[in-house]
Structure 1
């Protein structure tokens, strides 16, 4: 019997994309959530089962036992997909136990957590000769003096544990214009018992952010890859992509592939780089150790990373694949992009003509799909409720 797939989380773009990428090819998909609230991905016609399980943070041991119990009921090991960072951390924490019952690409417990921790990631990168932004930890000697002399302003106070930081502050980092801002930002993090670093801001507009996206097989060799360019993000300067396009940048393969192979990475990885406007050199910003919001764009360009992983883990031949030309295909998260576009205009970084012209390009479906309309309808209802609540508050 063909192995099932278990997707942890269907209340975000990534869960929906995994469901579609697998289900459209006849793979039995199972979504597991801690609540029915906002699980628009579970409305997909490609989902076969939907289960409510204990919360990954509040009851991790119970969630582990629920996953084991489900796997024991199956005739073959299911393939496990964490769709967002907290689930990646959960799977990594219990990797040795879960691998007894599930097919999971990573074999080294702790590696996912290491690369998600910015401090440990930058140590790994420096060890392998990959450029990273200058960073200083608040506990280091002459901290404030070195921030002023070596980092400069503006700078950012950035978490080593992004999921916990975002959960607490609803921001990815704190932008600081002077040393007083740095003191206040570090103080907030200390009060919240969160570890942070102060980091140099790489010069350049938001469209100088790029990604190297790859699948590494069980021998830690890159078999499939492509690169993308972020055009807009929200919040502007330090946010998540709202409009990105496929863009072939061979240099990113030359940097990203050797690094991932050297650290023994397996499965899908997304490395975010920023190109310094002054030097033209690429700096590693972070690594996503799970499917990203760009996944529909990858599929539209011919690389179905969730399916590639499934086929490899179930013993099928995956060959090799890459996108080595500019296709012009983009992906847009419209509601967030409209808000971001407003902010770019207010900051006088983009004008209306630049924004509008970007929409006239071939696009991958972020949520809406004529072949699978229900998630889009449910997502629209969720967004409408949020907008109405904000208007009522105003």
Structure 2
């Protein structure tokens, strides 16, 4: 394994799980972040090199030069793996320059961004026969009237560019219940120059959210896949997975593989679907084009996405595999799940008995790993520091 792996992002557990998935197989991992502060992934024993580079937003040209200079020193090109949406956008924007020095699964510049953009994604999905929630563009003339005629309240005000929205508002979307709230939230987004769309709420509790996680080779064919079912998320109802089970749902393969292969996608993708509680129909909600939050769960089911990517790009692909049974495994991000449970119980959506019963299952942890404990300790110190800071501020 002469090729190194350069992992972009070490201050969140997605980067950490990526580092572990590669390092456990003896891959030389160079983990890159823009600051040592809070980058607990750099504490992993599987990090061969911890590198601090320019910020992807504040100095993208500097980061590009930093990465290229690193790769130029290597005898063989490293594999480049972005683990957060802003890094994916950065890679997509500079794809041609980066592909001269790095191994990257995607070959079509702009495809990552097109999929991350809710407007273009939904157009693509409709073209390929995949259902999407009824949508109105906030820039449409008489958008309020269109919402009241075709979607009704409550409805969702969602960003076209999720990373920018989340960075500003610390949430994935706004749920609105009437005309006044709709206008208020649309204007709030427009004030920040963030484009939004309005969507129908697909009926169903959080456990009606499913994922199709797949790797597609350089022929744009699905070689590895697994499906999962969310049980809890944070923020509740419209957030990220915090307690999710692997669940075999063959229908998601039929929908997801056909779509991803149809658009010529290469590399890893996670399609989020919601199952309509009234009709049973699956609706495409969004696609993650970077390593998923559930990466540690996928790995535990036998689908090690970062290593699959590494092996294929370095010319030694692993055998195709699909998880076509229920393995009784769950992903658990304990910190945010505890915050979510408090809200679920407070709002009467779940009982404490139900929550406690759910914990008695084998788990794939977001951060904790008995073989690699230092990142969890560093994360704990970070949380203590944040709590202490809030207490002192109140004082």
Name stretches of at least 5 consecutive residues in structure 2 with no aligned partner: none
Does residue 1:141 correspond to 2:151, yes or no?
no
TM-score (normalizing by structure 1): 0.99
SS at match of 2:230: strand
**1:190 positional shift:** 0.8
Match of 2:290 in 1: 290
SS at match of 1:56: coil
Q: Equivalents in 1 of 2:158, 2:89: separation in Å?
A: 19
Q: Equivalents in 2 of 1:161, 1:318: separation in Å?
A: 34
Of residues 154-163 and 135-144 in structure 1, the stretch that sits farther from structure 2 once superposed is 135-144
Match of 2:260 in 1: 260
Alpha carbon RMSD of aligned pairs, Å? 0.9
Match of 1:125 in 2: 125
Match of 1:215 in 2: 215
Match of 2:250 in 1: 250
| Residue pairs, 1:165-314, within 5 angstroms | 165-314=165-314
SS at match of 1:370: coil
SS at match of 1:387: helix
Q: How many residues align?
A: 394
**1:152 positional shift:** 1.0
Match of 2:320 in 1: 320
CA-to-aligned-CA distance 1:98-139 (integer Å, 9 cap, x gap): 000000000000000000000000000011110001111122
Q: Equivalents in 2 of 1:164, 1:94: separation in Å?
A: 19
CA-to-aligned-CA distance 1:203-247 (integer Å, 9 cap, x gap): 000010000000000000000000000000111111111100100
Does residue 1:71 correspond to 2:71, yes or no?
yes
Q: Equivalents in 2 of 1:183, 1:375: separation in Å?
A: 44
Match of 1:60 in 2: 60
Name stretches of at least 5 consecutive residues in structure 1 with no aligned partner: none
**1:142 positional shift:** 2.6
Match of 2:332 in 1: 332
Q: Equivalents in 1 of 2:139, 2:243: separation in Å?
A: 37
Match of 1:111 in 2: 111
TM-score (normalizing by structure 2): 0.98
**1:143 positional shift:** 1.1
CA-to-aligned-CA distance 1:154-174 (integer Å, 9 cap, x gap): 111100000001111111111
**1:393 positional shift:** 4.3
SS at match of 2:145: helix
SS at match of 1:97: helix
- Spell out structure 1 runs of 4+ moving beyond 4 A: none
CA-to-aligned-CA distance 1:297-351 (integer Å, 9 cap, x gap): 0011111000000000000032210110111100111111111001001110100
Q: Contact 2:308–2:317 at 8 Å: present in 1 too? A: no
Q: Equivalents in 1 of 2:24, 2:365: separation in Å?
A: 14
Match of 1:5 in 2: 5
**1:365 positional shift:** 2.3
CA-to-aligned-CA distance 1:164-195 (integer Å, 9 cap, x gap): 01111111111100011110001011110010
Of residues 53-62 and 139-148 in structure 1, the stretch that sits farther from structure 2 once superposed is 139-148
SS at match of 1:122: helix
CA-to-aligned-CA distance 1:347-374 (integer Å, 9 cap, x gap): 1010011000111000012211110010
SS at match of 2:100: coil
Q: Equivalents in 2 of 1:60, 1:10: separation in Å?
A: 17
Does residue 1:366 correspond to 2:363, yes or no?
no
Q: Contact 2:329–2:361 at 8 Å: present in 1 too? A: yes
CA-to-aligned-CA distance 1:254-279 (integer Å, 9 cap, x gap): 10000000000000100000000111
CA-to-aligned-CA distance 1:19-64 (integer Å, 9 cap, x gap): 0000000000001111111110010000000111111001111110
**1:252 positional shift:** 0.3
CA-to-aligned-CA distance 1:72-103 (integer Å, 9 cap, x gap): 00010000000100000000000000000000
Q: Equivalents in 2 of 1:346, 1:392: separation in Å?
A: 27
**1:150 positional shift:** 0.7
